[in-house]
C-alpha cells in the first residue's frame, strides 16, 4: 500500500465532525478502495475543548487554520470554515501554494474566487475538489465534470436551497403564509435568524454560478446571476399555480441561449408532472439537459452534516486514488469568459397575477396591452372573490384577481406590456410576475 | 499533450454509431478535458458496407471483433456486441489479456463474468469500465463506485427496465391490459418480438447483480437474484394499488439484511409519494439508501443510442485521463462472496388479492389464517362487482375481490397463511401477491 494520506481538517462544526467520523468509520473500506490509508492528522477549530463526539486524540490541534494549511504534517487540506474571504480564503490559497490538494464545501469562496483558485491548483499540480459546495450529498459536480463528459450541456437547473423549498412546500401543504412558514423553518433550524442569504436567493446563486462554470466550460461569473428571492410569493400564487397544473419552486437555472448564458435564480412555475416538481421539503434536486443524455435528474439531501460529509469524503477518496481532474473539468486556460445573456431577452412563458378593478373595460385594457406586443395567452383565470378570500389575497374594494399564463414571449415585452397597463392607471398594485420553466 | 488514445469499437449498432458520432462531435472538448486526443482508429461490425451516418473513413475495419481486440493499433477496446458468451466474451478477454483497457455496455457479460473479468483487468493494470451496462445514461456506476465512497450502503433499488415501466405506465394511464400494452410496446420498438428477457425480469436481474456488487463490495452473484416478471400484473391490481395510494413498478432491489444480501426483481408496490413512483414511461431511476447520504435518487434515460453512448464516452474519457479504479470499487481480492439472504426470510408488507366466494365464513377463514400467523393487516378492501367488471378482473359466479395490505411480516408466514387458506378449499384461484417496498 502507498503512503498514508495525511488530512488536515479546518472547521469542526456539524460537517467537520461528520467528516472525521466518516473517515474513521469507513477507514478500512476507504483504504481498500483507494489503496491508501487516510488519516486525519491535524485539525483546527475555534474551540479546542468542545466535545464533538469524535476521537481527535491522534490529531494535532491548530488554533490558526492558515498555520494548519501550511503545516508539513498534512498532504490534503479540508476547508470547512466558510465565508468567501478571511481565514477560509487565505488558508485555501496557502494550502494550494504549498502544493497540497484542497477539498472544500465553501460555495461562497468558490463562487467568488473559484476560477483563480483552480488556476492556482493546476499550476501546482494538485487537486481542488468541491463536491460538497453544491447540493450537499448529491454528486452533481462529479456528474457534470466526469459523468457527462461526452455531452454538450444545454441547461442545468434545480432546487439548490432546502430552506426555500421547505417554506414553499409548507405554504402549499399547510396553507400558511410565507411569514408563518419562515418562522417555523427558523424554529426547526432550517433557516437562520437572519434568513436573507437563503430566502433572498443568494445561496442558490452561489451554487448556480459553480454549476454554470462546470456545465458550460466558462469562468465563474457570480455577478451575472439574476437573483430574486421567495419573499413575494403568496398563497394566492401557490393556489393559482396548483389550479393551472403548476407548482412554484425557487430554481437556479443556467441555460445556453443564442444570446449567451442565462444564469437566474427566481421563483419559478414548474409543471406538476415534472420530476423537479415532486421534490418537497429540504430536499435538493438538479436536472441537466444535454444533447446525448437528454434529461438527467438527481435528487437528494442538500444539507446536513453527514450528507455534506459524504461529498467531502468522496472528494478525499478521489484525491487519495491520485485522480487529478481540472477543478472545473476543462483546464483553467480553456475556460471561456462567461458571455452573459441580457435578462430582457429571456424567452419563456409567464404567470402574471393582476388585481383588476371590477369595472367595464379594465380587462380589455390588459388584453390590448398584451395583444399589441404579440403576447399570446395560454390561459386566463379569474380568481374570484371566494378564491381570493380563501387564500388571503389582498382584495381592495371590488378588485378581482386575474391570472394570465402567456405562451413563450420575452421578458422585455412582458415588462413593456405591464408598463402600458400601469400607465393606464386602472391597476393600482404592481403585478406578480413569475417565470414558467419549460420542461 | 500526451499520446493519442486509439479506440477500437466492436459493434456498430445504434449505440456503437452514437459512440463514434459523440467522440467526433466532442473531440475538442474531450481533448481539453482529458489532455489526450481520442480517435477511433478501428471498428468491427457484421456488415462493413452499411451506412450508419458516421464517418469511418479513417478507421481500419475488422470482420472479427477478436482480431480487433488483439490489434496493435488500439489502446482501448469498446465492446458493444452483446451477449454473455461468444465473440463478446472472447474479445473482452483478449483485449484485457493484451493489456488494453475495455469499455462495455454489456450487462449480460458483466453479470455472468464481471468478477473474473475485473480480476483479469486488475492483473494487467488496465481499466474495465461499464457505466452503460446499467440504466443507460444514468451515471449510477460512477455514483456507487466513487460518489458514495464514504458511505455504507443499505439498499439500492430502481426501475432498471424501460420496457416494463412503459407497459405498467400505459396500463395505468390508458386502462389497457398487459397484453395490449405489450403489443403497443412492440409496435413502438420498446419491446422485442420475443419480450421474455425484458418482461420476465431477466434484464433487470443482470443489472441488479452489477449494482449489488458495487454497493456491497461482493462478487457478482446472478444466480442469487429472485426473479419475477410483470406478466401476471392485472389492471385490477393497478386499480387497487391506486386506490390504496400505491403504484406498481418492476423494481430491482438489492438490500443488506441481518440474514445476508437480498437481490430480487419483482412487481412492487411503491407509495405514490416517492420519487420512484413518479417515474413513468421508458425512463429509468435508481435510489440508494446509505448511512451518510441517506437517500439519493437518479432519474434518466435507461436506453437509446445517444444516452447509452453518453455513458460509454464518459468511461472512455476517464480512461484517457488515466483514472484506474478497481472495476467494482474494491480490488477483486477484497470482494466478498455474496452471502445470499433466504427469500423466505424477506421482511416487508404485502399486497394480497384473493377471489373470495360470496358465502358466509369465507372471509373469516382468511382472517383466521392471517391472525394465526400474527400477520396484522394495515387495510382490507373489497373490490366489489362494479369495480371488478370495470377493470376486467375475473369474476366467476358470485366471487368478490378482496385485497389485503399487511404490515411488515415475512415471506414465509405469508406463504403459510395462503397455503392454509387454499387447503380450506374455499379459494379457487391462486392469490395475487405483490411485495410492498418500504420508503
Both A156 and A290 in one domain: the answer is yes
Are B282 and B184 in the same domain? yes
- A311 part of a folded domain: no
* Any domain includes B195: yes
Claim to verify: residue A131 and residue A155 sit in the same structural domain: no
Instruction: Evaluate whether B227 touches B157 at the Cβ level (below 8 Å).
Output: no
DSSP single-letter state for residue B344 = G
For residues A326 and A407, state if they share a domain: no
Tens of pLDDT, residues B163-218? 999 999 999 999 999 999 999 999 999 999 999 999 999 999 999 999 999 999 99
Would A131 be classed as within a structural domain?
yes
Helix (H, G, I), strand (E, B) or coil at B326: strand
The predicted pLDDT at position B71 comes to 98
User: Over chain A, what is the mean pLDDT?
Assistant: 93
Q: Which residue range is the domain that position B9 belongs to? A: 5-137+323-333
A278 and A190 inside one domain: yes
| B379 within 8 A of B398, measured Cβ to Cβ | no
Average pLDDT of A54-58?
89
Q: Are B240 and B131 in the same domain? A: no
Q: Which residue has the cell 376486467?
A: B392
Contacts of A328 in chain B (CB under 8 A): none
For testing contact with chain B, the best of A281, A290, A292, A301 (most B CBs within 10 A)? A292
- Whether A272 is in a domain gets the answer yes
How many CA atoms lie within 13 Å of B13's alpha carbon, on the beta-carbon side?
10
Q: Is B17 annotated as a binding residue?
A: yes
DSSP annotation of A430 reads P
In 3D space, the residue among B135, B436, B165, B163 whose CA is nearest the CA of residue B280 turns out to be B165
> Could you tell me if A167 and A199 lie in one domain?
yes
Q: Using an 8 Å Cβ cutoff, are B208 and B250 in contact? A: no
Per-residue pLDDT for A303 more than 70? yes
Q: In the predicted model, is pLDDT for residue A355 greater than 80?
A: yes
Residues B101, B122: Cα–Cα separation, whole Å: 10
Asked if A291 and A151 touch (Cβ cutoff 8 Å), the reply is: yes
Distance of CA B352 to the CA centre of its chain: 25
Residues contacting B356, CB < 8 A, separation 6+:
B362, B363, B366, B399, B400, B401, B402, B426, B427
Beta-strand pair B260-271/B432-436 = parallel
Q: Is A392 on the interface with B (CB under 8 A)?
A: no
- Which A residues in the span 1-60 are in contact with B, Cβ-Cβ below 8 Å? 18, 22-23, 25-26, 29-30, 32-34
- Confidence band (pLDDT; 50, 70, 90) for A386? very low
A202-215 pLDDT, tens per residue?
999 999 999 999 99
Say which DSSP state B351 is in.
E
Average pLDDT in the A326-331 region?
95
Judge whether residue B389 has pLDDT over 60. no
Lowest mean pLDDT among A77-91, B11-25, B421-435: B421-435
Percentage of residues in chain B having pLDDT higher than 70: 97
pLDDT tens readout for residues A259-292:
999 999 999 999 998 889 989 999 999 999 999 9
Predicted confidence (pLDDT) per residue in B363-388, tens digit: 888 999 999 999 999 988 887 544 44
* Confidence at residue A426, expressed as pLDDT on a 0 to 100 scale: 79
- Residue B161 shares a structural domain with residue B276: yes
CB contact under 8 A, B139 and A151: no
Q: Give the count of domains, chain B.
A: 3
Of A26, A143, A307, the CB nearest to B293: A307
Domain annotation covers residue A111: yes
Of the candidates B232, B252, B31, the one whose C-alpha atom is nearest the C-alpha of residue B162 is: B252
Nearest to B24 by CA among B44, B46, B43, B3: B43
- Please list the active-site residues of B: 207
Mean pLDDT of the region B12-40 = 96
Give the confidence band of B396 by pLDDT, cuts at 50, 70, 90.
very low
Q: Is A144 on the interface with B (CB under 8 A)?
A: no
Which is it for strands B128-129 and B101-104: parallel, antiparallel or unpaired?
parallel
Residues A176 and A294 in one domain: yes
Domain boundary among B313, B333, B353: B333
Cβ-defined contact of B330 to A150 (cutoff 8 Å): no
pLDDT tens for B221-265 read: 999 999 999 999 999 999 999 999 999 999 999 999 999 999 999
ipTM above 0.85, yes or no: yes
Check pLDDT > 50 for residue A385.
no
Cβ of A33 within 8 Å of Cβ of B298? The answer is no
Cβ separation B146–A314 shorter than 8 A? yes
Average pLDDT, rounded, for chain B:
93
Task: List C-alpha distances in Å: A167 to A249, A253, A355, B82, B97.
Answer: 10, 20, 25, 49, 57
CATH number, position A127: 3.40.50.720
Judge whether B51 and B25 are in contact, CB under 8 Å: no
Q: How far is it, in rounded angstroms, from Cα A26 to Cα A309?
A: 12
One domain for residues A73 and A149: no
Is there a contact between A138 and B23 if contact means CB atoms under 8 Å apart?
no
Residues B129 and B161 in one domain: no
Which residues in chain B have their CB less than 8 angstroms from residue A292's CB?
Answer: 18, 22, 137, 306-307, 309-310, 313
Choose the closest CB to B292 out of A34, A146, A310. A310
Is B78 known as a binding-site position? no
Concatenating the DSSP letter of every residue in A337-359 gives: PP-BPPGGG-EEEEEEEEEEESS
φ, ψ for residue B404, nearest 5 deg? -110, 135
CATH code, domain with A172? 3.30.360.10
pLDDT at A382: 83
Taking the C-alpha atoms of residue A332 and residue A322, their distance in angstroms, rounded to an integer, is 20
Instruction: Tell which wins on pLDDT, B278 or B143.
Output: B143
CATH number at residue B375: 3.30.70.260
The per-residue pLDDT for B388 is 43
Write the CB contacts of B232 (distance below 8 Å, at least 6 apart in sequence): B267, B432
Closest-approach residue (CA) in chain B for A292: B306
A292–B32: do the CB atoms touch at under 8 Å? no
* B255 DSSP β-pair partners: B155, B262
* Greatest mean pLDDT range, A182-196, A320-334, B156-170: B156-170
Give the residue from B39, B365, B392, B99 showing the smallest Cα distance to B236.
B392
User: A143 at the B interface (CB within 8 A)?
Assistant: yes
Within-domain flag for B233: yes
- The answer to whether the Cβ–Cβ distance between B294 and A278 falls below 8 Å is no
Within a domain: residue A308?
no
Interchain CB contact of A272 with B (< 8 Å): no
- Phi/psi for B381 (5° steps) reads -135, 130
Residue B369 inside a domain? The answer is yes
Q: Does B9 share its domain with B83?
A: yes
Amino acid at each position: 500500500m502507498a503512503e498514508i494520506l495525511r488530512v488536515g481538517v479546518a472547521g469542526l462544526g456539524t460537517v467537520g465532525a461528520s467528516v472525521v467520523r466518516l473517515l474513521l468509520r469507513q477507514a478500512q473500506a476507504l483504504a481498500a478502495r483507494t489503496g491508501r490509508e487516510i488519516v486525519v492528522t491535524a485539525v483546527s477549530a475555534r474551540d479546542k475543548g468542545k466535545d464533538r463526539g469524535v476521537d481527535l486524540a491522534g490529531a494535532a490541534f491548530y488554533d490558526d487554520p492558515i498555520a494548519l494549511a501550511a503545516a508539513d504534517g498534512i498532504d490534503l487540506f479540508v476547508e470547512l470554515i466558510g465565508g468567501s474571504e478571511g481565514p477560509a480564503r487565505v488558508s485555501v490559497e496557502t494550502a494550494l501554494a504549498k502544493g497540497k490538494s484542497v477539498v472544500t464545501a465553501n460555495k461562497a469562496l468558490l463562487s467568488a474566487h473559484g476560477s483563480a483558485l483552480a488556476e492556482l491548483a493546476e499550476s501546482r499540480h494538485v487537486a481542488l475538489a468541491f463536491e460538497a459546495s453544491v447540493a450537499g450529498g448529491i454528486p452533481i459536480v462529479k456528474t457534470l465534470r466526469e459523468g457527462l463528459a461526452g455531452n454538450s450541456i444545454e441547461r442545468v437547473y434545480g432546487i439548490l436551497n432546502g430552506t426555500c423549498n421547505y417554506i414553499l412546500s409548507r405554504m402549499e401543504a399547510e396553507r400558511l403564509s410565507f411569514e408563518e412558514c419562515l418562522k417555523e423553518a427558523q424554529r426547526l433550524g432550517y433557516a437562520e435568524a437572519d434568513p436573507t442569504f437563503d430566502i433572498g436567493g443568494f445561496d442558490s446563486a452561489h451554487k448556480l454560478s459553480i454549476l454554470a462554470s462546470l456545465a458550460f466550460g466558462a469562468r465563474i461569473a457570480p455577478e451575472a446571476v439574476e437573483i430574486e428571492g421567495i419573499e413575494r410569493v403568496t398563497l394566492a400564487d401557490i393556489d393559482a399555480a396548483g389550479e393551472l397544473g403548476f407548482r412554484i419552486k425557487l430554481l437556479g437555472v443556467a441555460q445556453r441561449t443564442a444570446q449567451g448564458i442565462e444564469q437566474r435564480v427566481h421563483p419559478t412555475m414548474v409543471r406538476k408532472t415534472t420530476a423537479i416538481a415532486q421534490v418537497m421539503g429540504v430536499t435538493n434536486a438538479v436536472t441537466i439537459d444535454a444533447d446525448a443524455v437528454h434529461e438527467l435528474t438527481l435528487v437528494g439531501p442538500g444539507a446536513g452534516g453527514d450528507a455534506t460529509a459524504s461529498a467531502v469524503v468522496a472528494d478525499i477518496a478521489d484525491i487519495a486514488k491520485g485522480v487529478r481532474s481540472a477543478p472545473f473539468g476543462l483546464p483553467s486556460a480553456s475556460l471561456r469568459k462567461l458571455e452573459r445573456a441580457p435578462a430582457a431577452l429571456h424567452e419563456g412563458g409567464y404567470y402574471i397575477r393582476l388585481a383588476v378593478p371590477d369595472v367595464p373595460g379594465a380587462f380589455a385594457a390588459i388584453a390590448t396591452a398584451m395583444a399589441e406586443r404579440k403576447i399570446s395567452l395560454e390561459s386566463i383565470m379569474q380568481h374570484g372573490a371566494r378564491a381570493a378570500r380563501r387564500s388571503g389575497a389582498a382584495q381592495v374594494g371590488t378588485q378581482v384577481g386575474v391570472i394570465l399564463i402567456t405562451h413563450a414571449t420575452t421578458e422585455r415585452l412582458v415588462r413593456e406590456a405591464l408598463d402600458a397597463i400601469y400607465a393606464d392607471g386602472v391597476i393600482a398594485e404592481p403585478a406578480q410576475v413569475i417565470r414558467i420553466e419549460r420542461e
